[in-house]
A and B are shown apart, each in its own frame.
Chain A
Amino acid sequence: AQSVSQHNHHVILSEAASLELGCNYSYGGTVNLFWYVQYPGQHLQLLLKYFSGDPLVKGIKGFEAEFIKSKFSFNLRKPSVQWSDTAEYFCAVSSTGNQFYFGTGTSLTVIP
C-alpha cells in the first residue's frame, strides 16, 4: 500500500505571507496526485490535480503545486495567503484501481 506524508500538521501564517505545504508519497510507479481543501464546516473540495505533462500545476484560488518525481513530492504553494485560506489541506495519491490514499492533513490558520 502507498503512504502519503504531510509533515506540517499545523501552520500559522499572517496574511500576505507565502505558503508551502509538503507532501511526499511512497509509490514508485505512475501516480495521480491531488490536493483537497476542507473549509470549516464544509466538505472536501478539489484544489488541483496532476495526471501528466507539466509538473507545475495551477489550481483554484491562486494555489499551485509542483510534482518532483525524483523526490516523490507534490508540494502545495501560494505566494500570498488570505484569511479565507484558513482550512485543512489534504494531499492524496492514486495509482491503480481508483483507490485514493490521503495524508493526515495540514491545518492552516491565517491571521488577519
Chain B
Amino acid sequence: GAGVSQSPRYKVAKRGQDVALRCDPISGHVSLFWYQQALGQGPEFLTYFQNEAQLDKSGLPSDRFFAERPEGSVSTLKIQRTQQEDSAVYLCASSLFGRDRDLGKPQHFGDGTRLSIL
C-alpha cells in the first residue's frame, strides 16, 4: 500500500544489545517523525526530520538513541545498549510538507514496532 511502513513489527532484544528500527514514509513526504508510546500512554515525540535534516531531537531520552534519514526518505532509529525502560512501541509518522508550510499538517502513522527488552 501507500502508507507508512515500519519494520520489524516486533523486536525482542536482551538488555545491552543494540537495535535498529526502520521507517519507510509515504513517498514524497518531506517531514518524518519518531514517537515512543509506552503501555497505557499516548505517543511521545522523539525526533523530527525535514528531508534529510534532523531539525529537532529534543525528545530523544538519552544519547543511546540515534536517528538518521540520510537520503531524505527511509529513516532508522537506533538504540544502543538497550535498557528495560526502552520497551515500548516506536511509531513513525510522515507528513507532506515541511514545518515552514502549513504547521501542524496531519501526520500519517505507521503500525509501529513493538520493542521488548528482556
| Chain A contacts to B: CB under 8 angstroms | 4, 6, 31-32, 34, 36, 42-46, 49, 51, 90, 92, 94-105
Contact = CB atoms under 8 A, between A and B. Distances in A.
The winner among A6, A49, A100, A105 for most chain B CB atoms within 10 A is A100
Interface of B: 3-4, 31, 33, 35, 40-45, 48, 55-56, 59, 91, 93, 95, 98-99, 103-107, 109-112
A97 B105 CA distance: 11
Contact of A104 (B41, B98, B104, B107): B41
Task: Point out which of B59, B95, B99, B107 has the most chain A C-beta atoms below 10 A from its C-beta.
Answer: B107
B110 A98 contact: no
Given A51-B104, A97-B99, A42 B111 contact: yes
Contacts of B106: 34, 46, 49
Given A97-B55, A104-B40, 18 more contacts: A34-B104, A34-B106, A43-B110, A43-B111, A43-B112, A44-B109, A51-B104, A90-B42, A90-B43, A95-B104, A96-B99, A98-B48, A98-B99, A98-B104, A99-B45, A100-B43, A102-B35, A105-B40
